[in-house]
Chains A and B, each alone.
Chain A
């Protein structure tokens, strides 16, 4: 390993630590991560949509769903509609953060992992809230939602059929936060953790941005 170029070492270490991070994520996903997200996101969603009786729950111990009772006009009764939202995939930022932390953290890895995971948990909950809001508005905007439900057609969100600025806004906001959760935050956190190393890479370029780091 000593002959490996210093730039290649972190990349190789990243490949070595990634399987462990993915395994740890899968191990604590059902008992820890998703229930915590349910607490944070569920509380907010139930507060924001108090008349809809929202619930986030595990489905057959595999995927988690947001379930809501929507009163859909002109239907004179409350109809339960299950809106599929893959919460598990949104939590993939955790193994990515852990992999990066194990590779790039130098000073206090455990503290970085704990604080980083805490912050990521809050942002992931925010992403779930935004996706939940979009899902609810989407369901409410459908013309034939009762027919779709009675035909037992699973409601998957087709982007091309969504119309209206409000829906587009929530869709785009939800997707942006999704990418921030999975990609941008883990990278930014590890940059903050090992600023000296990465700034060393950037030092020759700062004049191009006029930055004073």
Chain B
């Protein structure tokens, strides 16, 4: 466990350095645009009210616009979660399952977050700051913890089925 924590904290520092690289910031913009596309697609399934321009969602009546900023695409949290999965002693197959499932686990909630914030601006503008800064930050962080815990439980169940070698 100590080794896991040490590896993980070093990994966090490395991620923070990597995040300052220009190509990572370009990737971050791309991820934000993809999240905006997915969010606008889902909203438009129910009611065709959103125009997407890059990472910006604009209401067709021109009253509301929401930009999915680089800090809002959960890339940092996802990289931190990936670090925990990679540092954890598990088989390569289970790690791959963890990486893919946690990607969906985090980004699906993030899409829900973006859609809800879009409608919060529309209907409850006074609550936007609170929901954006605090509620959703808390919820996404908790989601990361739940995704990691769920993966550990999955990994543990799966591992117990394998023969244990001394």
Listed in ascending order, the chain A residues whose CB lies under 8 Å from chain B are 7-8, 10-11, 14-15, 18, 22, 26, 62, 86, 88-89, 92, 95-96, 99-100, 159-160, 168, 171-172, 175-176, 179-180, 182-184, 187-188, 191, 199, 201-202, 204-205, 207-209, 211, 213
Taking a contact as CB atoms under 8 Å apart, the answer to whether A11 and B1 are in contact is no
Please report the C-alpha to C-alpha distance between residue A96 and residue B3 in the assembled complex, in whole angstroms: 24
- B149 CB contact (under 8 Å) in A10, A159, A188, A202: A10
Q: Which of B22, B142, B164 contacts A204 (CB 8 A)?
A: B164
A207 surroundings in chain B (CB, below 8 A): 166
Interface pairs A-B: 6 shortest CB-CB: A7-B153, A208-B89, A172-B16, A205-B89, A175-B16, A201-B156
Residues from chain B with Cβ under 8 Å of A89 in the complex: 133-134, 137
28 inter-chain pairs at a CB distance below 8 angstroms, sorted by A residue, are: A7-B157, A10-B149, A11-B153, A14-B145, A14-B146, A15-B146, A22-B138, A26-B134, A86-B133, A88-B133, A89-B137, A92-B138, A95-B138, A96-B141, A96-B145, A159-B20, A168-B20, A172-B16, A176-B9, A179-B12, A183-B141, A183-B144, A184-B9, A191-B1, A202-B1, A205-B90, A211-B2, A213-B1
- Once the chains are docked, how many angstroms separate the CA of A211 from the CA of B162? 20
Tell me whether A7 and B134 are in contact (CB under 8 A): no
Q: Please indicate the chain A residues that have their CB under 8 angstroms from the CB of B141 in the complex.
A: 92, 96, 182-183
Give the residue of B16, B17, B133, B153 whose beta carbon is less than 8 angstroms from that of A201: B153
> Could you tell me the distance in whole angstroms from the C-beta of A87 to the nearest C-beta in chain B?
11
Q: Among the interface residues B25, B80, B149, which one has the most CB atoms of the partner chain A within 10 A?
A: B149
- Are the CB atoms of A176 and B138 closer together than 8 Å? no
| Inter-chain contact B135/A176, CB cutoff 8 Å | no
Give Cα A72 to B166, complex, Å. Answer: 66
Q: Do A179 and B80 touch (CB < 8 A)? A: yes
- Decide if B89 touches A209 in the complex (CB within 8 Å): yes
Residue interface bits B75-105, CB-to-A below 8 A is 1, else 0:
0000010000000011000000000000000
For B100-137 the 0/1 string (1 means CB < 8 A from A) is 00000000000000000000000000000100011101
Bound CA–CA A182/B164 (angstroms): 36
Scoring B89, B129, B160 by chain A CB atoms within 10 A of each residue's CB, the highest score goes to: B89
